[in-house]
Amino acid sequence: MAVLNRWVVFDVGETLVDETRVWSTWADVVGVPRLTFMAVLGAVIARGGAHQEVFHELGLDHWEHHRDQLEAAYGGFTDADLYPDARPALHALWDGGYRLAIFGNQPATRTAELEALALPAEVIAMSEEMGVTKPSPAYFARVLELLGNPDPGLVAHVGDRVDNDVVPAAAAGLRSVWLRRGPWGLIQQLPQDFDPALVVDSLEELADRIDTAFTALPISPGSV
Ligand SMILES: [Mg+2]
């Protein structure tokens, strides 16, 4: 039961969902040992590349050519793909009166899969159906629109990626929360002189400290 006029918006991959299984499935589908696939992915992330470049690095054809095979083998998100702290944190925030939503750079089919997990989120939408992707400003504008155009300062955005989540969410005027976990969260670094509204290492910590994201001074969009 939401009682506060504050939103907490969650990214999907490596924020709520542990992507180990989907990346392992990608490795299996293209016939590359999982360790090799993951290590090359890490190297691509470390040099600031897009994760789709893994396929080129491994001498494979475009990832989209394998998408149907991936989907058939992966079968979509299940409850077991959620990070163990995801459901308890969402419930703790919900019980604390926060309004919750889930958006991510993901195929449109993930929306129904997430809805089936019965998390306490009022709005769920994926980039493919939104027609915009992170880190585009249009993505964050669409997020606000789907929330009913609240004051961006009343919206915390929680994500693992500095480039796709933390910096562009702050630029859009949202309270940008960096969740430092997963390959991107551990490899990427904040730009110099850039302070997110909050930095946490788990969603359990987020649930404990979310108030500070809203009480910190607002981040000027012009500063990033
Ligand atoms: Mg993510």
pLDDT digit string (tens) for 45-95? 999 999 999 999 999 999 999 999 999 999 999 999 999 999 999 999 999
The predicted model gives 200-206 an average pLDDT of 98
Average pLDDT over residues 149-169: 97
List Cβ<8 Å contacts ≥24 apart for 180-185.
181/14, 181/83, 182/13, 182/14, 182/15, 182/19, 183/14, 183/41, 183/42, 183/45, 184/14, 184/45, 184/160, 185/14, 185/160, 185/161
Arithmetic mean of pLDDT, 160-167: 98
Helix or strand holding residue 29 (H, E) = helix 20-30
CA of 23 to the centre of ligand 1 (A): 13
Both 165 and 60 in one domain: the answer is no
The CATH number linked to 93 is 3.40.50.1000
Burial of 114 (0-12, 13-18, 19+ CB in 10 A): buried
Place of tokens 């300062």: 153
* Ligand 1 centroid – CA 136 distance (Å): 15
Q: Give the confidence band of 171 by pLDDT, cuts at 50, 70, 90.
A: very high
Give the Å distance between the CA of 110 and the centre of ligand 1. 14
Nearest Cα to 173, choosing from 141, 209, 195, 204? Answer: 141
Distance 154 CA to ligand 1 centre (A): 21
Let me know if residue 11 belongs to a domain. Answer: yes
Q: Is residue 224 part of a domain?
A: no
One domain, residues 162 and 209? yes
Indicate whether 52 and 88 sit together in one domain: no
pLDDT at 222: 46
Instruction: Indicate if 101 and 165 belong to the same structural domain.
Output: yes
Is the confidence at residue 177, as pLDDT, over 70?
yes
Domain with 53, as residue range(s), is 20-74
Question: Are the beta carbons of 12 and 102 closer than 8 angstroms?
Answer: yes
Residue 91 to residue 83: CA distance in whole angstroms: 14
Is 89 a member of any domain? yes
As to burial, measured by CB atoms within 10 angstroms (0-12 exposed, 13-18 middle, 19+ buried), residue 54 is buried
Q: How many domains does the chain have?
A: 2
- pTM (two decimals): 0.94
In a domain, 191, yes or no: yes
CA of 87 to the centre of ligand 1 (A): 16
Average pLDDT of the residues of the chain: 94
What size, in residues, is the chain?
224
- Is residue 1's pLDDT more than 60? no
Residue 101 lies in a domain: yes
Tokens of 208: 């404990």
Q: Which residue has the higher pLDDT, 4 or 57?
A: 57
pLDDT of residue 4: 76
Amino acid identity, position 57: E
In a domain, 218, yes or no: no
Q: What are the beta bridge partners of residue 176?
A: 157
Residues 116 and 163 in one domain: yes
97 and 165, same domain (yes or no): yes
* Residue 159 within a domain: yes
Ligand 1 midpoint to CA 33 (Å): 23
Pair type for strands 175-179 and 99-104: unpaired
Q: Is the pLDDT score of 188 beyond 70?
A: yes
Residue 216 DSSP label: S
Q: Indicate if the pLDDT at residue 195 is higher than 60.
A: yes
Asked if residue 221 has pLDDT above 80, the reply is no
CA of 12 to the centre of ligand 1 (A): 5
Looking at the DSSP bridge assignments, the partners of residue 139 are none
Cα(209) to ligand 1 centroid in Å equals 20
Q: Tell me, in angstroms, the distance from the centre of ligand 1 to residue 140's CA.
A: 15
Å from CA of 210 to ligand 1 middle: 19
The three-state secondary structure class of 108 is coil
Looking at the domain assignment, is residue 223 inside a domain? no
Residues 54 and 93 both lie in one domain: no
Backbone region of residue 165 per phi and psi (left: phi > 0; alpha: psi in -120 to 50; beta: other values): alpha
CA 98 to chain centre: 18
Q: What is the pLDDT of residue 224?
A: 41
Gap from CA of 158 to ligand 1 centroid (Å): 9
